[in-house]
Chains A and B, each alone.
Chain A
C-alpha cells in the first residue's frame, strides 16, 4: 500500500486540519478547567482568585445535583428504549412492500429536520396543553373539564416523549438500512428450516441488526446526555427539580445563579460522567462493532 514517503506526505497534508480541530477542542476545554478552579461569580466581581475544589464541592452538594443525575439517566434510558424498540418495529413495517413507500419513508424522517426548540414548543402548546392541546381536546370530547396536565404532572415523561419523537426517525432510518441489507436467501433458508416469523426475527433478523442497533445506541447516548433546549422551552427543569438534568443544572448554575466557576465545575463533572458512560457502553456493546 502506502510507501514511507507517501505516508509522511499524508501526515503533513492532514496536519493543518488536525491542528485546527485540536485547538478548537483544547481551548474551550482548557478554559472550562481553568474557570472551574477559579472564584468567578458575576454577582461578586471583587472575589477572584484560586478556589481549589470549592466549585466542585458546591456543585456536587447542591440540593439539585442528585435529581439532575437521576433525571439524566432516566431521560437517556427512556429515550433509548422508545427509539430502539419503536425504530425496530417501524423499520420492519417500512420494509414491507406497499404503495406510496417513498413518500411514507420521507414523512417518517420529517421529525428529524425540526429544530428541537420548535418541536418542543409544538408539543407543549399544541399537544400537551391541558386546555388547548390536542390531547386536552380529546379529553374534553369525552366530557372531562381539562386534559391531563402533562408538563405539570409528568414533566420528565413529557420531555422523554418529545425527545423520543425527535430521535425515532434517526433510529428507524439506520435500522431500516440494516434490514434492507439482509440477504433474502437467509430468510428463505430459515423458512425452509422450519423457522416461524418470530423465530426468524429472533435468530436471523435481530442478530443481523445488532451492529446497527449498537450504532444507534452509541450515537444517541452522546446526544441525549446533553438534551437542553427541550427542557428550557417547556418545563424549565421544574416543577421543582422534576425535569432537571445535568446540562440544565450547569446552565442554572452559570447563567441563572451567575456562578461561572461552579458552572464550569459542573461542566467538567458532566464530561467525566459522559466518558464513564461511554467507556461502559463501548465495553458492553462496542465488541459488536468489531469484525
Chain B
C-alpha cells in the first residue's frame, strides 16, 4: 500500500508549462522529499498527486491503479497544508473526526480513533478547544491528526513547518520522522529547506523549473551531485563553485568543492587568499576567504586562530573535488 507512480505527467496553467514532463516512482513506505527553489513547481506536483489539480497530460498510478481522473477523496491520500487548513468553527475533536464522519463511520468507532490519534500526538489536553485557541505547533499536530485517523495510503505534506519558529521546527521534524517510523506509511514531503530534506528523507527529489534534476538518497546527492544545480542546492553552507583557469586545470568548465573539503593553512597550499568575515559557531568556524577564484567558503574547526586580513592558502581534497562540463553535467 502506498506506491505512487508518475508517468509523463505534465501541468500547464494556460500557456505556462509549470511542469513540462515528469517521471517519478515513490515506493511503498518511503519518505520522499521534494526540494527546489521557490516557484519550481513543488506544490503543484504535490497537488497533482493529491488530485486537487488536474494533469494536463500523463498518468498517475496509486498502488498500480490508474488514479489520473479520480477525485481527491477517492485516492486514499491525506494532505497536511502549509496553512494547516483546520476548520476554525470546529473543536479539535471534531476537526480530527471530520474525515471519519464523512466516511460514515459509527460514532463510537470515531470517538475511539480520535482519542487514539490525540494520544499519539499529545493533543488530549486540548481536544475541546478550537484551532484559534491553539499555538502553531499544536495546530500543526491537529492537522497531522486529521490526516492519520484516515489511515491513508500516503501522506502529503506541503511545507508543514514553514510557519513555525526554528526550535519548534526541529521538534516537529523529529516528531514527523518518528511518526513515519511507527506508521511505516509512504510520505511525500515538500520543503525548500534543505536541512529538512537531508535529515528526514529516504529519497530526495530535487526539482528545478518543473524538472527533476536528480533523485537519490541524501548522501548520494551530497556525494555525487549530477549537475551544478544539485551541487549548489544540496549542502549547507553551499558548495564552492569555481569557473575559469582553476577549473580548466582540472579539465572541467566548473569545479565544485564543499567548504568542509578545503584544507586551510597559513604557509602553503594550492590557492592563495585573505581571510574575510569569519562566522564562529563554537563547534565550527566558517571562513570567507577572498581568493583569485572569488570568495570561497571554508569550514574550519572551532578553535581556528585566524583573523580578518590574514594571508592563507587553501588546498582542495583531490578525491572530494566535483567536476562539471560546460553544460553543467557531472564529469565522471
Question: Which residues of A have CB within 8 Å of B71?
Answer: 191
Q: Are A185 and B85 in contact (CB under 8 A)?
A: yes
Please encode chain A, from 242 to 262, with 1 for each CB lying within 8 Å of some chain B CB and 0 for all others: 000000000000000000000
- A185-B81, A203-B98 known; A192 vs B87 contact (CB < 8 Å): no
Q: Which of B72, B86, B88 contacts A191 (CB 8 A)?
A: B72
**A269 near B: Cβ within 8 Å?**
no
A180, CB-defined interface residue at 8 Å: no
Residue of B nearest to A291 (CB): B132
Which among A183, A194, A291 is the interface contact of B99 at CB below 8 angstroms?
A194
Q: Is the CB of B85 within 8 A of A188?
A: yes
A207 within 8 A of B: yes
Interface footprint category on A: 10 to 19
Distance of A105 Cα from B73 Cα, bound (Å): 33
Structural contact, A190 and B52, CB atoms closer than 8 A: no
Most buried by A among B51, B85, B99, B132: B85
Contact, CB under 8 Å: A186 / B85? yes
Complex Cα spacing A199 to B73, Å = 13
Q: Select B81's contact among A188, A207, A210, A291, beta carbons within 8 Å.
A: A188
Asked whether B73 lies within 8 Å of A185 as measured between CB atoms, the reply is no
| Nearest 8 interchain pairs by C-beta | A193-B99, A185-B85, A189-B85, A194-B73, A194-B102, A207-B89, A192-B72, A185-B81
The answer for the CA separation of A199 and B104 in the assembled complex, in Å, is: 12
Please give the distance in Å from A197's CB to the nearest CB on chain B: 11
- Asked if A195 lies at the interface with its beta carbon under 8 angstroms from chain B, I say yes
Question: B97 to chain A: closest CB distance in Å?
Answer: 10
Contacts of A210 in B (CB 8 A): 89
Determine whether A64 belongs to the interface, using a CB cutoff of 8 Å to chain B: no
Q: Quick one: CB contact mask for A187-220 with B, threshold 8 Å, 1 for yes?
A: 0111111110001000110011010000000000
Residue on B nearest A206 in the bound complex, by CB? B89
Q: For window 67-109 of chain B, which residues contact chain A by CB distance below 8 Å?
A: 71-73, 77-79, 81-83, 85-90, 98-99, 102-103
Question: Is B146 an interface residue when CB atoms closer than 8 A count as contact?
Answer: yes
Interface size on B, residues (CB 8 A): 25
A-side contacts of B150, CB under 8 Å: 193
CB distance from A284 to the nearest CB of B (A): 18
A141 to chain B, nearest CB (A): 46
Taking the nearest CB of chain B, how far is it from the CB of A130, in angstroms?
49
With A183-B85, A190-B98 known, 14 other A-B pairs at CB within 8 A are: A185-B83, A188-B52, A188-B72, A189-B146, A190-B87, A191-B72, A192-B50, A192-B51, A192-B99, A194-B102, A194-B103, A195-B98, A199-B102, A210-B89
Give the distance in Å from the alpha carbon of A180 to the alpha carbon of B89 in the complex.
17
Between A and B, 11 residue pairs with Cβ closer than 8 Å are A183-B85, A185-B81, A185-B83, A188-B85, A192-B72, A192-B99, A193-B98, A193-B150, A195-B98, A203-B90, A207-B90
Considering the chains assembled together, what is the distance between the CA atoms of A191 and B50 in angstroms? 10
Instruction: Give Cα A191 to B75, complex, Å.
Output: 11
Query: Chain B contacts of A203 at CB under 8 A?
Result: 87, 90, 98
A contact residues around B89 at 8 Å (CB) = 207-208, 210
Contacts of B146 in A (CB 8 A): 189, 193
In angstroms, Cα B78 to Cα A189, docked, is 9
Which B residues touch A185, using CB under 8 A? 81-83, 85
Nearest A residue to B104 via CB reads A194
Identify which of B79, B87, B88, B132 gathers the most chain A CB atoms within 10 Å of its CB.
Answer: B87
Bound CA–CA A245/B123 (angstroms)? 56
A191 touches B73 (CB 8 A): yes
The CA-CA distance from A189 to B51 in the complex, in Å, is: 11
**Judging by beta carbons under 8 Å apart, are A193 and B52 in contact?**
no
Q: Within the assembled complex, what's the spacing in Å between the Cα atoms of A199 and B82?
A: 23
Chain A hits for B85, CB < 8 A: 183, 185-186, 188-189
B77: A residues at CB distance < 8 A = 192
Cα(A90)–Cα(B321), bound, Å? 66
Inter-subunit contact B81/A193 (CB<8 Å): no
A195–B102 contact, CB under 8 A?
yes
- Beyond A194-B102, A195-B102, whether A186 also contacts B52 by CB under 8 A is no
* Chain A residues with CB under 8 A of B102: 193-195, 199
A193 contacts which chain B residues (CB < 8 A)?
73, 98-99, 102, 146, 150
A222 to B89, CA, bound (A): 28
Contact with A along B288-315 (1 / 0, CB 8 A): 0000000000000000000000000000
Q: Which residues of A contact B82 (CB under 8 A)?
A: 185
Chain B residues near A194 (CB-CB < 8 A): 73, 99, 102-103
Q: How far is A163 from B14 in the complex, measured between Cα atoms in Å?
A: 44
Report the Cα distance A210→B88, complex, angstroms.
12
Residue of A at shortest CB range from B78? A192
Q: Which residue of B lies closest to A185 (CB)?
A: B85
| Distance in angstroms between the alpha carbons of A208 and B78 in the assembled complex | 23
Among A188, A191, A194, A210, chain B packs the most CB atoms within 10 A around the CB of: A194
A212 to chain B, nearest CB (A): 13
- Which chain B residues lie closer than 8 Å to A189 at the CB level? 79, 81, 85-87, 146
Q: Please, how many angstroms separate the alpha-carbon atoms of A191 and B72 in the complex? A: 6
B contact residues around A188 at 8 Å (CB): 52, 72, 79, 81, 85
Give the CA-CA distance A185 to B72 in the complex, in Å: 13
How far, in whole Å, are A7 and B99 apart by their CA atoms in the complex?
Answer: 51
For A190, the chain B residues whose CB sits under 8 A away are 87, 98
